[in-house]
Amino acid sequence: MDPTPLDAGSASRVRALLPTLCDPDASFGEAHAAVQALHRELAAVTGIVGIEDEATHGEGTRLPGGKAISPAHAAQCLRETTRTVKFLRGVESALRDLAARVEGPVRVLYAGCGPYGTLLLPLAIRWPAERLQVTLLDIHEQSLESALRVAEALGVADRVAGSVRTDAATYRTEVPFHLAVSETLAQGLRNEPVLAILRNLWPQGAPGAVFLPERVVLSFVLVDMSRQMALMTNCPEPVARDHYPVVLDCGTVVEVSREAAEAWQEEPSWDGTGQAIRCPTLVWPADACPERSAQLIARVHIHGGIVLEHRESSITHPWIPTWGRDARPGARIAFQYVLGSRPEALGRLL
Protein backbone atom coordinates (compact mmCIF):
# COMPACT_ATOMS: atom_id res chain seq x y z
CA MET A 1 0.00 0.00 0.00
CA ASP A 2 1.41 3.39 -1.00
CA PRO A 3 1.05 6.31 1.40
CA THR A 4 -1.64 8.77 0.44
CA PRO A 5 -0.91 12.48 -0.04
CA LEU A 6 -1.00 14.25 3.32
CA ASP A 7 -4.57 15.18 4.14
CA ALA A 8 -5.35 18.25 6.23
CA GLY A 9 -8.34 16.38 7.65
CA SER A 10 -6.26 13.69 9.38
CA ALA A 11 -5.73 15.76 12.51
CA SER A 12 -9.43 16.57 12.93
CA ARG A 13 -10.47 12.96 12.34
CA VAL A 14 -7.96 11.61 14.87
CA ARG A 15 -8.88 14.35 17.36
CA ALA A 16 -12.50 13.20 17.11
CA LEU A 17 -11.43 9.66 18.09
CA LEU A 18 -9.49 10.68 21.19
CA PRO A 19 -12.46 11.07 23.58
CA THR A 20 -13.41 7.44 22.98
CA LEU A 21 -9.84 6.13 22.91
CA CYS A 22 -9.08 7.79 26.25
CA ASP A 23 -12.41 7.11 27.98
CA PRO A 24 -12.22 4.21 30.47
CA ASP A 25 -16.02 3.99 30.43
CA ALA A 26 -16.27 3.46 26.68
CA SER A 27 -17.69 0.07 25.74
CA PHE A 28 -15.48 -2.45 24.00
CA GLY A 29 -17.50 -1.97 20.80
CA GLU A 30 -16.97 1.80 20.90
CA ALA A 31 -13.27 1.41 21.65
CA HIS A 32 -12.84 -1.20 18.91
CA ALA A 33 -14.45 1.04 16.31
CA ALA A 34 -12.22 3.95 17.34
CA VAL A 35 -9.06 1.81 17.25
CA GLN A 36 -9.86 0.48 13.78
CA ALA A 37 -10.57 4.02 12.53
CA LEU A 38 -7.23 5.18 13.94
CA HIS A 39 -5.49 2.28 12.22
CA ARG A 40 -7.09 3.11 8.88
CA GLU A 41 -5.99 6.73 9.22
CA LEU A 42 -2.36 5.97 10.08
CA ALA A 43 -2.11 3.15 7.55
CA ALA A 44 -3.21 5.56 4.84
CA VAL A 45 -0.66 8.16 5.96
CA THR A 46 2.27 5.73 6.06
CA GLY A 47 1.34 3.07 3.50
CA ILE A 48 2.06 0.37 6.13
CA VAL A 49 -0.98 -1.72 7.09
CA GLY A 50 0.33 -4.65 9.15
CA ILE A 51 2.00 -8.03 9.03
CA GLU A 52 0.76 -8.62 5.48
CA ASP A 53 3.42 -6.03 4.55
CA GLU A 54 6.38 -7.89 6.08
CA ALA A 55 7.54 -9.18 2.72
CA THR A 56 8.31 -5.60 1.72
CA HIS A 57 9.01 -4.05 5.13
CA GLY A 58 11.30 -6.65 6.69
CA GLU A 59 11.02 -9.25 9.40
CA GLY A 60 12.61 -7.41 12.30
CA THR A 61 16.15 -6.99 13.60
CA ARG A 62 17.96 -9.17 16.13
CA LEU A 63 19.80 -6.93 18.62
CA PRO A 64 22.08 -7.73 21.58
CA GLY A 65 19.14 -7.25 23.96
CA GLY A 66 16.38 -8.96 21.95
CA LYS A 67 14.50 -8.75 18.68
CA ALA A 68 13.12 -5.44 17.41
CA ILE A 69 9.97 -6.28 15.47
CA SER A 70 9.57 -5.03 11.92
CA PRO A 71 7.75 -1.80 11.03
CA ALA A 72 4.93 -3.93 9.58
CA HIS A 73 4.61 -5.97 12.77
CA ALA A 74 4.67 -2.80 14.87
CA ALA A 75 1.82 -1.41 12.75
CA GLN A 76 -0.13 -4.62 13.34
CA CYS A 77 -0.01 -4.07 17.11
CA LEU A 78 -2.32 -1.06 16.85
CA ARG A 79 -5.14 -3.37 15.76
CA GLU A 80 -5.31 -4.97 19.24
CA THR A 81 -8.10 -2.91 20.79
CA THR A 82 -7.61 -3.44 24.53
CA ARG A 83 -3.83 -3.19 24.27
CA THR A 84 -3.99 0.09 22.35
CA VAL A 85 -6.61 1.85 24.45
CA LYS A 86 -5.07 0.83 27.78
CA PHE A 87 -1.64 2.05 26.76
CA LEU A 88 -3.05 5.31 25.35
CA ARG A 89 -4.95 5.88 28.59
CA GLY A 90 -1.84 5.08 30.62
CA VAL A 91 0.31 7.52 28.63
CA GLU A 92 -2.36 10.23 28.85
CA SER A 93 -2.57 9.71 32.62
CA ALA A 94 1.21 9.92 33.00
CA LEU A 95 1.38 13.10 30.89
CA ARG A 96 -1.28 14.78 33.01
CA ASP A 97 0.47 13.79 36.23
CA LEU A 98 3.79 15.14 34.97
CA ALA A 99 2.31 18.33 33.53
CA ALA A 100 1.01 19.16 37.01
CA ARG A 101 4.54 19.25 38.45
CA VAL A 102 6.91 19.97 35.56
CA GLU A 103 7.59 23.53 34.44
CA GLY A 104 7.90 23.95 30.71
CA PRO A 105 7.48 21.04 28.31
CA VAL A 106 7.22 17.45 29.48
CA ARG A 107 10.14 15.72 27.75
CA VAL A 108 9.21 12.26 26.49
CA LEU A 109 11.42 9.54 25.05
CA TYR A 110 9.46 7.08 22.91
CA ALA A 111 11.78 4.07 22.65
CA GLY A 112 10.56 1.86 19.82
CA CYS A 113 8.06 4.28 18.27
CA GLY A 114 7.29 2.09 15.24
CA PRO A 115 5.91 3.58 12.02
CA TYR A 116 2.82 5.12 13.65
CA GLY A 117 4.10 6.61 16.92
CA THR A 118 0.84 5.11 18.16
CA LEU A 119 1.10 5.87 21.86
CA LEU A 120 2.15 9.52 21.64
CA LEU A 121 1.61 11.23 18.30
CA PRO A 122 -2.24 11.00 18.36
CA LEU A 123 -2.25 12.24 21.97
CA ALA A 124 0.10 15.10 21.04
CA ILE A 125 -2.85 16.74 19.26
CA ARG A 126 -4.15 17.65 22.71
CA TRP A 127 -0.87 19.18 23.92
CA PRO A 128 0.76 22.42 22.70
CA ALA A 129 4.44 22.33 21.81
CA GLU A 130 5.37 24.41 24.85
CA ARG A 131 4.00 21.64 27.10
CA LEU A 132 5.13 18.52 25.24
CA GLN A 133 8.32 17.55 23.42
CA VAL A 134 8.81 13.99 22.17
CA THR A 135 11.99 12.28 21.01
CA LEU A 136 11.23 9.39 18.65
CA LEU A 137 13.63 6.45 18.77
CA ASP A 138 13.66 3.29 16.68
CA ILE A 139 16.22 0.94 15.17
CA HIS A 140 14.44 0.96 11.78
CA GLU A 141 14.89 4.01 9.57
CA GLN A 142 11.58 3.30 7.86
CA SER A 143 9.73 3.48 11.17
CA LEU A 144 11.27 6.86 11.96
CA GLU A 145 10.50 8.24 8.49
CA SER A 146 6.90 7.02 8.73
CA ALA A 147 6.42 8.33 12.28
CA LEU A 148 7.65 11.78 11.20
CA ARG A 149 5.15 11.65 8.32
CA VAL A 150 2.41 10.85 10.87
CA ALA A 151 3.50 13.81 13.00
CA GLU A 152 3.24 16.08 9.98
CA ALA A 153 -0.16 14.69 8.98
CA LEU A 154 -1.53 15.18 12.50
CA GLY A 155 -0.13 18.70 12.74
CA VAL A 156 2.15 17.87 15.68
CA ALA A 157 5.58 18.06 14.03
CA ASP A 158 6.47 20.93 16.36
CA ARG A 159 6.01 18.54 19.33
CA VAL A 160 8.79 16.28 17.96
CA ALA A 161 12.10 17.33 19.48
CA GLY A 162 14.06 14.87 17.36
CA SER A 163 14.31 11.37 15.95
CA VAL A 164 17.14 8.94 16.63
CA ARG A 165 17.94 5.70 14.82
CA THR A 166 19.62 3.50 17.41
CA ASP A 167 19.22 0.58 19.79
CA ALA A 168 17.18 1.78 22.77
CA ALA A 169 19.06 -0.68 25.00
CA THR A 170 22.31 1.27 24.48
CA TYR A 171 21.01 4.81 23.84
CA ARG A 172 22.49 7.65 25.90
CA THR A 173 20.42 10.80 26.19
CA GLU A 174 21.95 14.27 26.44
CA VAL A 175 18.91 15.80 28.14
CA PRO A 176 17.16 13.82 30.92
CA PHE A 177 13.57 12.94 30.08
CA HIS A 178 10.49 13.11 32.30
CA LEU A 179 8.71 10.15 30.70
CA ALA A 180 10.04 7.11 28.86
CA VAL A 181 7.60 4.91 26.94
CA SER A 182 8.70 1.54 25.59
CA GLU A 183 5.95 -0.88 24.62
CA THR A 184 8.45 -3.47 23.41
CA LEU A 185 6.78 -6.59 24.75
CA ALA A 186 6.01 -10.08 23.54
CA GLN A 187 4.13 -13.16 24.73
CA GLY A 188 5.78 -14.65 27.81
CA LEU A 189 8.48 -11.91 27.81
CA ARG A 190 10.28 -13.83 25.09
CA ASN A 191 12.66 -12.29 22.55
CA GLU A 192 11.60 -8.66 22.70
CA PRO A 193 14.02 -6.37 24.56
CA VAL A 194 11.84 -4.56 27.11
CA LEU A 195 14.02 -5.58 30.06
CA ALA A 196 17.24 -4.47 28.35
CA ILE A 197 15.67 -1.18 27.23
CA LEU A 198 14.19 -0.22 30.58
CA ARG A 199 17.33 -1.32 32.43
CA ASN A 200 19.31 1.09 30.23
CA LEU A 201 16.84 3.97 30.57
CA TRP A 202 16.05 3.84 34.31
CA PRO A 203 19.21 5.75 35.35
CA GLN A 204 18.82 8.38 32.62
CA GLY A 205 15.56 10.03 33.63
CA ALA A 206 15.16 13.39 35.33
CA PRO A 207 14.35 13.32 39.07
CA GLY A 208 10.87 11.82 39.46
CA ALA A 209 10.87 10.44 35.92
CA VAL A 210 8.10 8.01 34.98
CA PHE A 211 8.65 4.83 32.95
CA LEU A 212 5.91 3.04 31.02
CA PRO A 213 5.11 0.31 31.59
CA GLU A 214 5.68 0.80 35.32
CA ARG A 215 5.89 -2.90 35.98
CA VAL A 216 5.66 -6.19 34.09
CA VAL A 217 5.08 -9.36 36.12
CA LEU A 218 5.69 -12.78 34.60
CA SER A 219 3.94 -15.50 36.60
CA PHE A 220 3.94 -19.29 36.66
CA VAL A 221 0.30 -20.36 36.53
CA LEU A 222 -1.75 -23.52 36.22
CA VAL A 223 -4.76 -23.32 33.93
CA ASP A 224 -7.79 -25.61 33.92
CA MET A 225 -8.13 -25.64 30.15
CA SER A 226 -11.52 -27.37 29.98
CA ARG A 227 -13.12 -24.83 32.31
CA GLN A 228 -11.39 -21.97 30.56
CA MET A 229 -12.61 -23.09 27.15
CA ALA A 230 -16.12 -23.48 28.51
CA LEU A 231 -16.07 -19.94 29.85
CA MET A 232 -14.58 -18.56 26.63
CA THR A 233 -17.26 -20.22 24.49
CA ASN A 234 -20.12 -19.29 26.85
CA CYS A 235 -20.96 -22.95 27.46
CA PRO A 236 -22.13 -24.22 30.85
CA GLU A 237 -19.08 -24.62 33.07
CA PRO A 238 -18.14 -28.26 33.78
CA VAL A 239 -18.14 -29.51 37.34
CA ALA A 240 -15.01 -28.23 39.06
CA ARG A 241 -12.38 -30.93 39.42
CA ASP A 242 -10.76 -29.20 42.38
CA HIS A 243 -11.28 -26.17 44.57
CA TYR A 244 -9.03 -23.83 42.62
CA PRO A 245 -10.19 -21.20 40.08
CA VAL A 246 -9.61 -21.49 36.36
CA VAL A 247 -6.18 -19.83 36.63
CA LEU A 248 -4.10 -20.69 39.69
CA ASP A 249 -1.19 -18.29 40.22
CA CYS A 250 1.79 -20.18 41.67
CA GLY A 251 4.05 -17.15 42.01
CA THR A 252 6.16 -14.54 40.24
CA VAL A 253 8.98 -15.74 38.00
CA VAL A 254 10.41 -12.28 37.30
CA GLU A 255 9.22 -8.72 37.79
CA VAL A 256 10.50 -5.97 35.49
CA SER A 257 10.43 -2.70 37.42
CA ARG A 258 12.89 -0.19 38.86
CA GLU A 259 12.20 -1.40 42.37
CA ALA A 260 12.55 -5.11 41.60
CA ALA A 261 15.75 -4.51 39.63
CA GLU A 262 17.56 -3.51 42.81
CA ALA A 263 17.35 -7.14 44.00
CA TRP A 264 18.27 -8.82 40.70
CA GLN A 265 21.23 -11.20 40.88
CA GLU A 266 22.94 -12.45 37.74
CA GLU A 267 24.30 -15.93 37.18
CA PRO A 268 25.46 -18.00 34.17
CA SER A 269 22.51 -19.06 32.03
CA TRP A 270 21.61 -22.75 31.95
CA ASP A 271 21.64 -22.78 28.16
CA GLY A 272 25.25 -21.53 28.09
CA THR A 273 24.46 -18.40 26.08
CA GLY A 274 25.57 -15.85 28.68
CA GLN A 275 24.11 -14.31 31.79
CA ALA A 276 20.68 -14.66 33.39
CA ILE A 277 18.73 -13.16 36.26
CA ARG A 278 18.26 -15.61 39.10
CA CYS A 279 14.54 -16.19 39.76
CA PRO A 280 12.65 -17.99 42.54
CA THR A 281 11.96 -21.70 42.78
CA LEU A 282 8.20 -22.22 42.62
CA VAL A 283 5.97 -25.20 43.44
CA TRP A 284 3.08 -26.89 41.64
CA PRO A 285 0.71 -27.38 44.62
CA ALA A 286 0.41 -31.03 45.58
CA ASP A 287 -3.39 -30.88 45.76
CA ALA A 288 -3.86 -29.38 42.26
CA CYS A 289 -5.13 -31.76 39.61
CA PRO A 290 -2.48 -33.03 37.16
CA GLU A 291 -4.62 -32.19 34.12
CA ARG A 292 -3.91 -28.51 34.54
CA SER A 293 -1.64 -26.82 31.99
CA ALA A 294 1.59 -25.21 33.25
CA GLN A 295 1.91 -21.77 31.63
CA LEU A 296 3.75 -18.46 31.90
CA ILE A 297 1.61 -15.32 31.79
CA ALA A 298 2.65 -11.65 31.80
CA ARG A 299 0.55 -8.91 33.38
CA VAL A 300 1.49 -5.39 32.28
CA HIS A 301 1.02 -2.61 34.83
CA ILE A 302 1.01 0.44 32.59
CA HIS A 303 0.34 3.44 34.85
CA GLY A 304 -1.98 4.54 37.62
CA GLY A 305 -3.75 1.22 38.09
CA ILE A 306 -4.23 0.56 34.37
CA VAL A 307 -3.29 -3.10 33.86
CA LEU A 308 -3.23 -5.24 30.73
CA GLU A 309 -4.56 -8.54 32.00
CA HIS A 310 -4.39 -12.21 31.03
CA ARG A 311 -5.53 -12.78 27.43
CA GLU A 312 -6.37 -9.11 26.80
CA SER A 313 -3.69 -8.92 24.11
CA SER A 314 -1.10 -11.01 22.32
CA ILE A 315 1.54 -9.92 24.86
CA THR A 316 -0.52 -11.23 27.77
CA HIS A 317 -1.51 -14.52 26.17
CA PRO A 318 0.03 -17.50 27.94
CA TRP A 319 3.26 -19.14 26.89
CA ILE A 320 3.29 -22.93 27.31
CA PRO A 321 6.87 -24.05 28.08
CA THR A 322 8.21 -27.45 27.09
CA TRP A 323 9.21 -28.38 30.66
CA GLY A 324 5.56 -28.07 31.67
CA ARG A 325 4.72 -31.31 29.88
CA ASP A 326 6.68 -33.31 32.47
CA ALA A 327 5.66 -31.36 35.58
CA ARG A 328 3.12 -32.82 38.00
CA PRO A 329 1.56 -31.80 41.33
CA GLY A 330 4.18 -31.38 44.01
CA ALA A 331 6.92 -30.56 41.48
CA ARG A 332 9.48 -27.87 42.30
CA ILE A 333 10.54 -25.70 39.34
CA ALA A 334 13.62 -23.47 39.37
CA PHE A 335 13.59 -20.44 37.08
CA GLN A 336 15.97 -17.94 35.58
CA TYR A 337 15.47 -15.16 33.03
CA VAL A 338 18.08 -15.35 30.27
CA LEU A 339 19.53 -12.07 29.05
CA GLY A 340 21.06 -11.36 25.66
CA SER A 341 19.76 -11.49 22.11
CA ARG A 342 17.12 -14.15 22.86
CA PRO A 343 15.76 -13.25 26.29
CA GLU A 344 13.29 -15.65 27.90
CA ALA A 345 12.35 -17.34 31.16
CA LEU A 346 13.74 -20.85 31.54
CA GLY A 347 12.30 -23.44 33.93
CA ARG A 348 13.98 -26.56 35.24
CA LEU A 349 12.35 -29.38 37.20
CA LEU A 350 14.16 -30.20 40.43
**Count of domains forming the chain:** 2
125 lies in some domain: yes
CA gap 141, 132 in Å, rounded: 23
Q: Are residues 153 and 125 in contact, defined by beta-carbon separation less than 8 angstroms?
A: no
231 lies in some domain: yes
**Both 88 and 119 in a single domain?**
yes
**Both 221 and 311 in a single domain?**
yes
**Both 93 and 164 in a single domain?**
yes
Residues of the chain with pLDDT under 70: 1-2, 5-6, 53-58, 225-246
pLDDT, tens digit (0-9, with 9 covering 90-100), for 58-115: 678 899 999 999 999 999 999 999 999 999 999 999 999 999 999 999 999 999 999 9
Closest C-alpha to 30, from 9, 47, 16 = 16
CA gap 224, 211 in Å, rounded: 35
**Both 16 and 121 in a single domain?**
yes
**Both 44 and 163 in a single domain?**
yes
**Both 292 and 192 in a single domain?**
no
For residue 280, the enclosing domain spans 216-349
**Both 160 and 36 in a single domain?**
yes
**Both 66 and 109 in a single domain?**
yes
**Both 51 and 106 in a single domain?**
yes
**Both 242 and 330 in a single domain?**
yes
2 lies in some domain: no
4 lies in some domain: no
Q: Rounded to 5 degrees, what are φ and ψ at 110?
A: -105, 95
pTM above 0.75, yes or no: yes
Q: Are residues 86 and 302 in contact, defined by beta-carbon separation less than 8 angstroms?
A: yes
**Both 145 and 223 in a single domain?**
no
91 lies in some domain: yes
pLDDT, tens digit (0-9, with 9 covering 90-100), for 219-231: 999 887 665 555 5
266 lies in some domain: yes
Strand order in the sheet with 247-256: 247-256, 215-223, 293-303, 306-308
108 lies in some domain: yes
**Both 136 and 189 in a single domain?**
yes
Closest C-alpha to 181, from 206, 158, 198 = 198
Helices (H), the chain: 10-21, 28-46, 54-57, 71-77, 81-99, 121-124, 141-153, 194-201, 225-232, 258-261
Of 171, 195, 212, at which residue does a domain stop?
Answer: 212
Looking at residue 133, which CATH number applies to its domain? 3.40.50.150
CA atoms within 13 A of residue 41's CA, in its CB half-sphere:
25
Of 151, 182, 212, at which residue does a domain stop?
Answer: 212
